[in-house]
Each structure stands twice: as structure tokens, then as C-alpha cells.
């Protein structure tokens, strides 16, 4: 099975296990960088789970991004921070740590997006958690 199909698997547990494997692989080598555009295409999927997996794997390529693909796709990537599902947004905020680490020149754009985020659409139980994740990301950029 090809990895893009695997990431879209309806069996979320299997797809999540694959995601974790691929994130580990991405931290160790550039072998998945060739799939960057495929990861970006997953951001257009109707499933929040699939979009989040694409986001996380696109961000995981930051250290190998010699062609500045993250910068070229940043607007689309950052749209995920407007997702209706706060758990997806929280995962995306965490994944952005890798981008900030390897692509500090993108911090200004990321900060502008954080400033524009509307947390009022989330339940009172989730808003503070998203806010905490936003603050952690901001600290990395200070």
C-alpha cells in the first residue's frame, strides 16, 4: 500500500500508526521529502484527520526543505489553524514547532496567523488548551 493511501485509511488507528512511523522517519532522513506535494494535497481532504496528517508530515519535512516548499505553501498550510476541530488545531500548532526551528524566516507570517486566530468558535473547555499551545509556539519564536 502506498503511504498516501495509508494516510487516508478509514481505520484511523492504522493511519495514525503510519503517521507516527513517517514522522519518525522524517526526523531521521529526507526520504519522504519527495512526497511533500502529496502531503500538501492531503490538506484539501474532507476529513479533518487526513488534513491533520498531511499538515504534520509537511511540517516534518522542514529540515529537508531545500526548495522552500513550505514557504511557497505557507498560506494553505496555515489555513489548518482555522479548522473547526480544536484537537486538529492543537496538533498543527505542535507540528509548527519543527517549522519554526528550521525555517525561522517564516516566524513573522506564523505570528500574524496566530494573532488572527478566532478561538471563540471552540468550547470553553478547549479554548484555553488551544491558547496554551499558541503561547508555547510563540515562546519558541521569541
Query: How many C-beta atoms lie closer than 10 Å to residue 98's C-beta?
Result: 20
Report the C-alpha gap between 136 and 133 in whole angstroms: 5
- Tell me the pLDDT of the chain averaged across its residues: 96
Predicted confidence (pLDDT) at residue 66 exceeds the cutoff of 80: yes
Predicted confidence (pLDDT) at residue 127 exceeds the cutoff of 90: yes
> Is the pTM higher than 0.85?
yes
All cell numbers assigned to 102: 528550521
As a whole number, mean pLDDT of residues 92-115 equals 98
As a whole number, mean pLDDT of residues 46-63 equals 97
Pick 89 or 1 by higher pLDDT: 89
Identify the pLDDT of residue 113: 98
pLDDT confidence band for 41 (50 / 70 / 90):
very high
Identify the pLDDT of residue 90: 98
pLDDT confidence band for 1 (50 / 70 / 90):
low
Helix ranges restricted to H, the chain: 3-7, 12-28, 36-42, 48-60, 69-72, 74-78, 86-102, 107-116, 127-141
Identify the pLDDT of residue 132: 97
Amino acid at each position: 500500500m502506498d503511504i498516501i493511501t495509508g494516510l487516508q485509511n478509514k481505520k484511523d488507528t492504522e493511519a495514525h500508526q503510519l503517521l507516527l512511523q513517517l514522522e519518525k522517519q522524517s526526523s531521521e532522513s529526507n526520504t519522504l521529502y519527495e512526497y511533500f506535494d502529496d502531503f500538501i494535497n492531503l490538506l484539501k481532504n474532507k476529513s479533518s484527520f487526513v488534513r491533520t496528517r498531511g499538515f504534520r508530515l509537511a511540517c516534518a519535512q522542514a529540515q529537508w526543505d531545500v526548495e522552500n516548499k513550505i514557504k511557497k505553501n505557507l498560506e494553505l498550510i496555515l489555513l489548518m489553524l482555522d479548522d473547526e476541530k480544536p484537537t486538529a488545531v492543537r496538533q498543527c500548532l505542535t507540528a509548527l514547532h519543527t517549522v519554526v526551528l528550521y525555517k525561522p524566516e517564516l516566524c513573522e507570517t506564523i505570528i500574524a496567523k496566530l494573532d488572527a486566530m478566532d478561538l471563540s468558535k471552540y468550547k470553553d473547555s478547549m479554548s484555553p488548551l488551544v491558547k496554551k499551545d499558541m503561547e508555547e509556539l510563540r515562546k519558541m519564536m521569541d
